[in-house]
């Protein structure tokens, strides 16, 4: 694998020696760079120690004042009888509501992504469809007792601090679960993006050299794209400016050109002998 990387970066003419590599090995090569491109996500998850100051400020400022009498007592929501649904917070694409109906009607929440406190549960609804739910008691003890009437009063700062403390505690304790899911999602998105890039490159290479099987074109395009993969991996890790990444990717196409020169040379060689 090191030889493929070296030749992909420095000696693209030598890539033709690897056309018979197994397709599984080629996919593994792409997967390695997809994982490297997820390194920033992995580092941020490992370093995560609570919600950001920006989110804290946003939550504190965007909490909607609640006129209705609603409280969470012993992890169970209770509102005055006339209250059905109360809007609490909105930060696109997520909205938070308190629902005091005996039976939750998810069709009432058909706009994007909604988090609903209902009875003793936290319910996640997307466009009117319930995705999942969890018991409030599974969250931090900070959510055991909450008085939503504190919003808009001199107790609002203390209320927001209690909410954020609970969010921090829960996210940190469950980091291994949601962190793993985020890494997998990031890896898969990078892998699909790289596969798409290689397939497009293979398509044009195959159209230019019809004598070359598509499998060999895919292998050559993968190794010739090594410089692009490396640039994108460093972009993820170091958060490089996009214009610099664009220039580096443009320069990396030189490897494809040199590889094509070598293909042309080898295809012409038998004719020269004649």
DSSP-assigned letters across all residues of 120-184: TEEEEEETTEEEEEEEGGGS-GGGSSEEGGGTTSTTHHHHHHHHHHHHHHHHHHTHHHHHHHHHH
Q: How confident is the model at residue 230 (pLDDT cuts 50, 70, 90)?
A: confident
Q: How confident is the model at residue 273 (pLDDT cuts 50, 70, 90)?
A: very low
Contacts of 239 (CB under 8 A, 6+ apart): 40
62 and 29 Cβ atoms separated by less than 8 Å: no
Q: How confident is the model at residue 272 (pLDDT cuts 50, 70, 90)?
A: very low
* pLDDT value for 271: 44
* pLDDT value for 48: 81
Mean pLDDT for the chain overall: 80
Provide DSSP, 19-75.
TTS-HHHHHHHHHHHHHHTTHHHHHHHHH--S--HHHHHHHHHHPPPP-S-EEEETT
Secondary structure class of 90 (helix, strand, coil): strand
The mean per-residue pLDDT over the stretch 55-73 comes to 72
Question: Which residues, listed in sequence order, are joined to residue 87 by a DSSP beta bridge?
Answer: 97
Q: Is residue 274 over pLDDT 50?
A: no
Cα of 33 vs its chain's centroid, Å: 16
Report the share of the chain in percent with pLDDT over 90: 9
The mean per-residue pLDDT over the stretch 250-273 comes to 66
Q: Is residue 166 over pLDDT 50?
A: yes
Q: Tokens 């443009």, residue?
A: 250
* pLDDT value for 188: 93
120 and 141 Cβ atoms separated by less than 8 Å: no
Return the structure tokens found at 250: 């443009």
Return the structure tokens found at 29: 């090569």
Q: What is the pLDDT of residues 32-55, one digit of tens each?
A: 999 998 888 888 888 887 766 666
Closest CA to 122 of 106, 110, 138: 138
Distance between CA atoms of 16 and 269, rounded to whole angstroms?
Answer: 15
| 192 CB-contact burial (10 Å; exposed 0-12 / middle 13-18 / buried 19+) | exposed
* pLDDT value for 106: 86
Which has the higher per-residue pLDDT, 180 or 256?
Answer: 180
Distance between CA atoms of 30 and 27, rounded to whole angstroms?
Answer: 5
Question: pTM of this prediction?
Answer: 0.70
Q: What is the pLDDT of residues 186-228, one digit of tens each?
A: 999 999 999 998 898 888 888 888 888 888 889 888 888 888 8
The mean per-residue pLDDT over the stretch 127-147 comes to 84
Q: Between the ranges 3-12, 83-92, 143-152, 215-224, where is the mean pLDDT highest?
A: 215-224
Q: What is the pLDDT of residues 7-27, one digit of tens each?
A: 777 777 777 888 888 999 999
Distance between CA atoms of 139 and 144, rounded to whole angstroms?
Answer: 9
* pLDDT value for 33: 92
* pLDDT value for 62: 65
Q: Is residue 136 over pLDDT 80?
A: yes
The mean per-residue pLDDT over the stretch 74-87 comes to 81
Q: Is residue 138 over pLDDT 70?
A: yes
Distance between CA atoms of 199 and 186, rounded to whole angstroms?
Answer: 20
Where b means 16+ CB within 10 Å and e means fewer, 112-147 reads eebebbbbebbbebeeeeeeeeeebeebbebbeebb
């Amino acid at each position: 694998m090191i030889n493929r990387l070296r030749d992909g970066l420095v000696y693209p003419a030598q890539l033709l020696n690897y056309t018979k590599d197994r397709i599984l090995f080629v996919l593994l090569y792409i997967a390695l760079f997809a994982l490297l491109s997820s390194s920033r996500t992995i580092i941020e998850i490992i370093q995560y120690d609570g919600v950001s100051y920006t989110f804290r400020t946003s939550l504190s400022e965007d909490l909607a004042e609640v006129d209705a009498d609603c409280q969470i007592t012993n992890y169970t929501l209770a509102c005055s009888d006339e209250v059905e649904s109360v809007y609490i917070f909105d930060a696109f694409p997520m909205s938070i509501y308190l629902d005091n109906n005996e039976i939750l009607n998810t069709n009432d929440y058909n706009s994007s992504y909604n988090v609903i406190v209902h009875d003793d549960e936290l319910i996640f609804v997307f466009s009117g469809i319930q995705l999942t739910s969890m018991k409030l008691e599974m969250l931090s003890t900070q959510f055991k007792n909450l008085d939503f009437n504190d919003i808009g009063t001199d107790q609002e700062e203390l209320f927001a601090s209690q909410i954020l403390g609970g969010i921090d505690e829960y996210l940190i304790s469950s980091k291994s679960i949601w962190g793993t899911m985020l890494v997998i999602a990031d890896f898969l998105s990078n892998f699909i993006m790289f596969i798409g890039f290689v397939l497009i490159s293979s398509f044009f290479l195959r159209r230019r050299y019809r004598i070359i099987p598509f499998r060999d074109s895919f292998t050559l395009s993968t190794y010739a794209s090594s410089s692009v993969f490396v640039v994108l991996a460093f972009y993820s890790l170091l958060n490089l400016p996009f214009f610099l990444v664009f220039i580096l990717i443009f320069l990396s196409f030189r490897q494809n050109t040199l590889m094509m020169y070598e293909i042309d040379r080898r295809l012409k060689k038998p004719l020269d002998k004649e």
